């Protein structure tokens, strides 16, 4: 749901996007992994598993020693209540300051994706390296007008051993501009994209999209991939299926650029591609991040997620970097 | 509270875990999580600031809901089984909310010699509205 960008908005977005790919600095956890913080955490979660808090029980378990809950990863290098320095902060601090100054002062987390290489034990001292992955264009969300900011954080011990990583997405938004508030301009009144007709066969695809995972239906019997989703394998006839996550890379197999008729929920000209995925299936999706007149058959593309509104996320494809 | 992962062969797409129900979230839950995680965004504990920007009250940390959800996966597959945990926070969580965390197997696969189970995760509030959706990948025995 892009707005018709004013020049000012476009210029602001250019400034924000200059941060994309920027190393946002290294931080070291205030303390090594320790029993006290683990105890606070598991009490907050109501988790009574002794492997987190009882050295004797943990020693007798398969783990041999106390472990920290995997999902606690973020807490070991959390900046806490110290706040941002007024000057001389990291590029991330600078970016957040620019958004604050432009009125996007509220923040909520929208997505978290963590991977764990190993369990953490008492005494592991972690540090992070953070990269600003992306800054979205201005979006109208239920909470308000804002920009999604995605960071990638690598967690490693102070000796340099990788232990996990996290992709974290927040929405920086202008308070009071949400759906309950009066629309501030025409763009806020733009109708929502049409809803997909959800069935028990295709719901996984849209659920996956909400998590920014491109899922392809796969026959559980013969392994054939198919899209769009359907109840039955066209090759072997099996009704059993599961899903495979696609790499998100593909090429434009064919496309159209739609000028007319114009549906209010979309912006025109609208490039609609038939994308051939690396995995072999094809799907129809918008082609973005390129002038529609430059789209060509054979163009190498990769998935870009369109968080249209709180209830709808769709895959689109942009030229591969 | 098992630490033994269920057998890969015994798991099937559609299998579900016993849901975790958190009866009634309070501000104390949020404050305790703020202390445990180090996330002191005032939106989660300072009603004056939270309401000044249009919220009806403070609201819960997304990662608190994620942590509760992860408990279901941990109770199912054991504390060391989790490899990947991906969540989307679709609605805010408010004091007084009742949360129900559910998990279901959506895929089984082998990767790098490990037998992996993909689990769909969902947390709904007392009105049946989904506040978190996600996917966890865990190792099965």
What's the CATH number where A85 sits? 3.10.129.10
Same domain flag for A12 and A120:
yes
| A183 falls within a domain | no
What are the DSSP calls for B59-72, one per residue? Answer: ---HHHHHHHHHHH
- The DSSP bridge pattern shows strands B99-111 and B114-124 to be antiparallel
Q: Mark whether A56 and A137 lie in a shared domain.
A: yes
Q: What digits encode the pLDDT tens for the residues B8-55? A: 999 999 999 999 999 999 999 999 999 999 999 889 999 998 888 778
- Cα–Cα dist B123/B103, whole Å: 9
- Categorise residue A107: left if φ over 0, alpha if ψ from -120 to 50, beta otherwise: beta
Question: Are A208 and A169 contained in the same domain?
Answer: no
- Is the minimum CB–CB distance between A37 and chain B shorter than 8 Å? yes
**φ and ψ of B72, to 5 deg:** -65, -45
Domain boundary assignment for chain B: 8-26+59-139
Boundary residue ending a domain (A173, A192, A219): A173
Residue B125: per-residue pLDDT: 94
Judging contacts by C-beta atoms under 8 Å, the chain B residues touching residue A96 are: none
Lowest-confidence pick of A65-74, A87-96, B60-69, B129-138: A87-96
Task: Find, among B130, B136, B82, the residue nearest to B106 by Cα.
Answer: B136
Return the structure tokens found at A174: 């202008």
At residue A78, the pLDDT reads: 87
A126, A154, A173 — which closes off a domain?
A173
Range of the domain at A232: 203-319
Inter-chain touch A112–B35, beta carbons under 8 Å: no
Is residue B129 less than 8 Å (CB to CB) from chain A?
Answer: no
Express each pLDDT in A165-196 by its tens digit: 999 999 999 987 876 543 334 444 567 888 88
Residues A149 and A247 in one domain: no
Residue B114: CB atoms within 10 A of its CB come to 14
B79 close to A (CB below 8 A): yes
Same domain? For A168 and A23 the reply is: yes
Please tell me the distance in Å from B94's CA to the nearest CA on chain A: 14
Option in B1, B66, B133 nearest A211 (CB): B133
3-state secondary structure A249-261: EEEEEEEEEECCC
Residues of chain A with pLDDT under 50: 1-3, 181-188
| In a domain? residue A100 | yes
Residue A175: the pLDDT is 84
- Could you say which of A63, A80, A110 has the minimum Cβ distance to residue B80? A63
Query: In which element (H, E) is residue A23 found?
Result: strand A23-28
A285, β-bridge pairs: A273
Residue A120 has a pLDDT of 96
Last residue of a domain, one of A125, A155, A173: A173
Mean pLDDT for all residues in chain B: 92
Q: Contacts for A287-294 with beta carbons within 8 Å, 24 or more apart?
A: A287/A252, A287/A255, A287/A316, A287/A317, A287/A318, A288/A316, A288/A317, A288/A318, A289/A318, A289/A319, A290/A318, A290/A319, A292/A257, A293/A257, A293/A269
Show residues of chain B in contact with A69, CB under 8 Å. 67, 70, 74, 79
Angle formed by the axes of helices A91-101 and A7-17, to 10°? 160
Of all residues in chain B, the percent with pLDDT exceeding 70 is: 97
Tell me the mean pLDDT in the region B55-74: 95
Distance from CA of B115 to the nearest CA of A (A): 15
**Residue A81's pLDDT is what?**
57
| pLDDT value at residue A83 | 61
Looking at the predicted structure, is the pLDDT value of residue B115 above 60? Answer: yes
Percent of chain B residues past pLDDT 90, beyond the cut: 82
What does A121-152 look like in DSSP terms, one character per residue? ETT--EEEEEEEEEE---EE-SS-EEEEEEEE
Average pLDDT over residues B98-123: 94
**pLDDT value at position A183?**
37
Specify the number of domains making up chain A. Answer: 2
Cite the beta strand spans of A249-299 per DSSP E: 249-258, 270-277, 282-287
Regarding whether A209 and A160 lie in a shared domain, the answer is: no
Distance CA B91, CA A143 (A): 10
Specify whether the CB–CB gap between A196 and A169 falls below 8 A.
no
Q: Give residue A162's pLDDT.
A: 97
pLDDT tens readout for residues A241-259: 999 999 999 999 999 999 8
Query: Which chain A residues are Cβ-neighbours of B133 within 8 angstroms?
Result: 207, 210-211
3-state secondary structure A204-234: HHHHHHHCCCCEEEEECCCCCEECCCCCCCC
Residue A101 has a pLDDT of: 92
DSSP summary character for residue A194: P
The pLDDT value given to residue A178:
75
pTM of the model: 0.68
Q: Is A189 within a domain?
A: no
Q: What is the mean pLDDT of residues B126-139?
A: 94
CATH class, domain B8-26+59-139, is alpha beta
- The predicted complex's ipTM stands at 0.90
């Amino acid at each position: 749901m892009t707005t018709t960008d004013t020049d000012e908005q476009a210029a602001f977005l250019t400034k924000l996007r200059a941060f994309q790919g920027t190393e946002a600095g290294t931080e070291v956890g205030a303390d090594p992994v320790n029993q006290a913080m683990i105890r606070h955490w598991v009490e907050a979660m109501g988790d009574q598993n002794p492997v987190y808090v009882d050295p004797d029980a943990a020693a007798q378990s398969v783990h041999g020693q106390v472990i920290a809950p995997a999902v606690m990863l973020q807490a070991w290098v959390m900046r806490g209540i110290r706040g941002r320095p007024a000057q001389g902060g990291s590029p991330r601090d600078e970016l957040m300051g620019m958004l604050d100054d432009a009125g996007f002062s509220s923040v909520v987390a929208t997505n978290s994706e963590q991977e764990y290489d190993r369990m953490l034990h008492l005494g592991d001292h972690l540090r992070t390296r953070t990269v600003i992955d992306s800054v979205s264009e201005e979006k109208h969300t239920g909470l308000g007008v804002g920009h999604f900011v995605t960071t990638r954080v690598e967690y490693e011990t102070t000796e340099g051993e990788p232990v996990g990583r996290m992709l974290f997405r927040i929405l920086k938004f202008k308070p009071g501009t949400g759906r309950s508030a009066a629309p501030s301009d025409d763009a806020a009144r733009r109708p929502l994209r049409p809803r997909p007709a959800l069935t028990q066969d295709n719901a996984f695809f849209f659920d996956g999209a909400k998590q920014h995972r491109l899922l392809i239906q796969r026959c559980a019997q013969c392994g054939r991939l198919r899209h769009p989703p359907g109840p039955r394998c066209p090759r072997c006839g099996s009704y059993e299926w599961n899903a495979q996550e696609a790499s998100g890379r593909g090429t434009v197999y064919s496309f159209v650029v739609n000028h007319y008729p114009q549906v209010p929920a979309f912006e025109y000209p609208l490039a609609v591609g038939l994308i051939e995925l690396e995995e072999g299936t094809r799907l129809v999706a918008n082609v973005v991040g390129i002038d529609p007149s430059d789209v060509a058959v054979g163009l190498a593309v990769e998935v870009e997620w369109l968080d249209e509104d709180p209830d709808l996320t769709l895959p689109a494809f942009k030229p591969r970097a | 509270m098992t630490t033994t992962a269920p057998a890969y062969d015994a798991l099937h797409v559609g299998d579900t875990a016993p849901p975790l129900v958190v009866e009634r979230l309070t501000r104390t839950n949020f404050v305790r999580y703020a202390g445990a995680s180090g996330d002191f965004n005032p939106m989660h504990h300072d009603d004056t600031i939270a309401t000044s920007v249009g919220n009806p009250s403070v609201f819960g940390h997304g990662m608190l809901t994620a942590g509760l959800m992860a408990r279901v996966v941990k109770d199912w597959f054991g504390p060391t089984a989790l490899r990947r945990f991906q969540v989307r926070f679709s609605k805010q969580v408010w004091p007084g909310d009742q949360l129900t965390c559910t998990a279901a197997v959506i895929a089984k696969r082998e990767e790098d010699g490990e037998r992996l189970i993909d689990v769909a995760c969902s947390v709904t509030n007392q009105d049946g509205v989904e506040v978190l959706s996600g996917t966890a990948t865990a190792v099965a025995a």
